[in-house]
Every structure is written in C-alpha cells, then in structure tokens.
Amino acid sequence: MAASRVIRDFLFLTNSRSRCTELTQEGEQVTTAIEDFVPPDSHEIVPKSDRSISNIYKYGVKVKHNPSGKWFFACFGSACCRANLAAGIFIAIGEKSVSNANDHIKEARRRRVMLPSSLDFCCHWFDFQEDCSREGEDKNRLDLRVSKAVSSAMYTRAHPRFLAMKWVKCNMIEGFCPVSHGEKEWVRASLKLTALKNFPITGIHNEAVKQMVVEMYAATASQFKMEMAAQIGGMRLLHLSLDLWVDKFSSLKYVGIPLFYVDRTWVLRSRLIAVRQFNPTKELLEDNRLSALVQKHLESVLEEYGLDVSLVFSATSDSGSDVKRLCDVLLPGLWEWCVCHMINCALVEAFGTHVDSAKSRNPGARKVITMGKKVVEHIPKSPRAKAIFEQEQVRQYAQCYHRKLVNAAPQRWSGVTNVLEAVIVNRAAVNAVYTTEGKDSPLTSLTNEIDEL
C-alpha cells in the first residue's frame, strides 16, 4: 500500500534524535548552497514561476546556458551533487520537461544519498513512531495513521500555507481581528521585519483569510463529528442548551448550541457545536413562527455532525417563548430553565422585580435594588466620587480596599446579590460621598428596608 512505500523510503531513518539533527544540518547546507549559488558567466539562473509546484526546487535551481540556449539543473541535494557543481557538471533538462532532474532526485533518494523533501516530516515521523509504540497500536490502525500522516506532510511547520494558517488562527480566531487585518500596511511592515523568510505576506489578504477560516472550521467540525460518532454510546441520548440573544451593538441575532452526551465509558461530555447568526427575513417570519425557524436551524446544525433530532432527549433554555416552545412542544421531552433565569423568575414576586412596576408585589425591595444599582453606577464611574468613597472607607472603617463596590450593575440575580451586599456593607461611606457632593443620598429614605436586608 501507499503507506508502506513511504515507510520504505524512510527506512534509513532511525528513531534517534541525533539522526534527525544530522538531517536538519544537511537540509540547512542545501538551503544555504542554493541561496549562495553564483552561476558561471556563461549561465544564468531561471527564476521559479509563482505557479510552479515542482519538487526539484527543494534541491536546486534551473540554469540556462546563454550561448546555446540549453537548460540545465543545478542540484545541491547531496554532498556528491555539490561536488559535481563545483566541477561545473550540470544535469541537462528541457525548457519545459524536467524528467531528467526528477529521475536524478528519485535515484539519489533510492540510494539514500539524498534527504527526503520534507525535513519537518522526518522529525514528525520520530514523534509519530514513539506515539504508536507507546500506545501499542495494531498493524491496521498503525497503517491508517501512517497514511494520514503522509497525506498531511505538505502542511509541515516550514510550509508557507501552514505558517499563514497559524497566523490566521492566532489573529482572527483567537484574537478576533478583522479578516482585512493582514492587508494593513503597518501589519505587513511588521511581518517583513519579524516573520520567517518563507512567510507568505502577500497571501493573507481578505479572500485568502476567509478561505482559511472556512477550512479550519470545516476541519474542527469534522474532528468533532468523528469524536462524537466514536464516543456517543451506552445511552444514545443528547441534551441541548439553546441560547438565543441579540447583539446590542449590531442588533444581529445569534443562537448558541452546546451539546451534552454520555460517551461509551459513561462520562458526561459537552461540545459547543455552533454559535451562528440567526436573522430570518421578514417573509419567513410572516409565514412561520420563530420557534419553527429555530427548529430548522437546529436540525441543520445537528445534520452537519451526523446527528438526528430524534436523539434529543432533553433541553435547557431561558424562559423565552420561542426557544421554550421549541424545546417543550416541537421537540417533546424534558425541558428545564437555566439556573440564572429560573432564580430570576422565582424571586420576581419576593423582591418585586416584575417588568411592570405597577404590578410589583414588593415595592420596598424593588426600590432598594434600583437605588443600589444607581449607586454602583455613579461612584466607580466618577473619579471624584471614587476618591471620596475611599477616604470615607478609611475614616469610617479604618481600612479600605477589602470593601470595594462592584464595577457594574448586572441584571441577573447571580450578580444583583453582590450589588446589594456591597451597598449594605458600605452604606455609611456611600452616604458620606453624596453628603460631600452636596446631594441627598438615595439610601437615606430606605433605611428601614436596608436594615431588614
């Protein structure tokens, strides 16, 4: 098989790191010799075409004999080849046909006098062999992994496209930079100074970056699909968590779909399989309920991973009518609120936080929460109020920095409780801030309610 032929080509390599070091040094000699090559006066170097993918350029260069117009190949792939060049011996080739050069390289590699075309693959092969021996894989699985490793050899650490994809991963995916980031002049100027010599600076333009992002997404989704197909067992039941929200800056809708399942070893696992825009057109909304459109969106995502909606056993979401109807009606099964929304709904009556203030069952508690949010929005944002607050903490409590207010007023109860506690603990210092500013403290009229809390 193909994998066996590749293994045979690499049999001269041993599992010693010293051999890998020797090969690396040999590769550096080849690269240096190519860069430093100065042809005789009667010859000129033929530049490599941008579209050329020929393997011979890894071992040498094409030259042209000016008086006769004949083409030759200058090979630097081995010590013997370099000695021949020093003696003025070239390999004759045609202007378009390079079969002589390819035959020479193949023969040299067959006789083990020339290193393989990818040094990084050789070094990777050592790691690969060690992994296989450590895992004790059988022959069939080993052959399969060898085949995959060989097929991916073109994406070694020295390959320009691999370097570009690593840059895109760090900047666009992990750093959230725009896809046009690589087209900025200052970015390219920086890369010219810091990037590796073979980094494709002109190859990170808008369209190329989009293509690489799509490829990496497809590869990640494919990996997820294979892992889930192998892991989902025992109970072929899935649990979904649906989250539909609107971005406050762009007003675009998004839907997130985390998936939970039990693998064959009965371990609970989770995968975030999608965070995507969800912006149905007005025409679709006129003819369909939003929950039905969310269902179609969900089914298409599951289908990408080879999963059927019939495997969904239960789901968790907020109390929004669209996702709740999807989970509870269109996908019959167990449905539960997420904890944050459930706590919020459970405490609406107790703390009077109904959306309609006229329907509040506890106006006093509602006022305390509202005033508490105003306090933490005012003091941290005003440098003068913040300085007064810290001085009052020292004066009131003889200590300062462990009694800080929170920096924002969250809307959910998991954060509101911290706001209330901070306001109550620092009530004297808060009142002093407003007094110093010549204002009435919003907490003064709520003394009894705060005392109850």
Within this chain, do residues 16 and 41 fall inside the same structural domain, yes or no? Answer: yes
Q: What is the pLDDT of residue 186?
A: 92
Residue linked to tokens 């080993």: 142
CB 44 within 8 A of CB 140: no
Residue 48 DSSP one-character state: P
- Cα(353)–Cα(371) distance, integer angstroms: 13
Instruction: Indicate whether 254 and 209 sit together in one domain.
Output: no
| Higher local confidence (pLDDT), 223 or 18 | 223
pLDDT at position 326: 81
- Of 433 and 157, the structure prediction assigns the larger pLDDT to 433
Does pTM surpass 0.75? no
The total of other beta-carbon atoms located within 10 Å of residue 334's CB is: 11
Q: Is residue 349 part of a domain?
A: no
19 and 102 housed in the same domain: yes
**Gap between the Cα atoms of 328 and 320, Å rounded:** 12
In a domain, 344, yes or no: no
Return the closest-CA partner of residue 410 out of 424, 426, 425, 421. Answer: 421
pLDDT score of 51: 59
CB 304 within 8 A of CB 221: yes
Buried b (16+ CB within 10 A) or exposed e, 266-294: eeeeebebbeeebebeeeeeeeeebbbbb
Q: Is 273 found in the same domain as 177?
A: no
Structure tokens at 257: 């779909």
In the structure encoding, which two tokens stand for residue 356, read together? 């309609």
Q: For residue range 121-173, list pLDDT tens digits in order.
A: 444 444 444 444 444 445 455 455 544 444 444 445 557 888 888 899 889 88
pLDDT tens track for 221-268: 888 888 877 777 656 678 888 888 888 777 888 888 888 888 878 888
**Type and span of the H or E element at 344:** helix 339-346
Phi, psi of 345 (to 5 degrees): -70, -35
Q: Do 377 and 413 fall into the same domain?
A: yes
Q: State the alpha helices, DSSP H only, in 111-205.
A: 119-135, 139-151, 160-168, 185-194
Domain of 186, in residue numbers: 159-222
**What gap in Å lies between CA 13 and CA 4, rounded to an integer?**
15
Distance, in Å, from the CA atom of 10 to the CA atom of 116, rounded to the nearest integer, reads: 8
Q: CB–CB of 121/101 below 8 Å?
A: no
What pLDDT score does 18 carry?
Answer: 47
364 and 325 share one domain: no
As for how many domains the chain has, the answer is 4
Say whether both 180 and 257 belong to one domain.
no
Q: Is residue 210 part of a domain?
A: yes
- Is there a domain that residue 343 lies in? no
By the 8 A CB rule, do 367 and 446 touch? yes
Select from 197, 222, 247 the last residue of a domain. Answer: 222
Distance CA(371)–CA(449), nearest Å, equals 12
Q: Which residues pair with 72 in a beta bridge?
A: 63, 92
Residue 252 sits in the same domain as residue 216 = no
Q: Is 167 part of any domain?
A: yes
Q: Specify whether 114 is located in the same domain as 163.
A: no
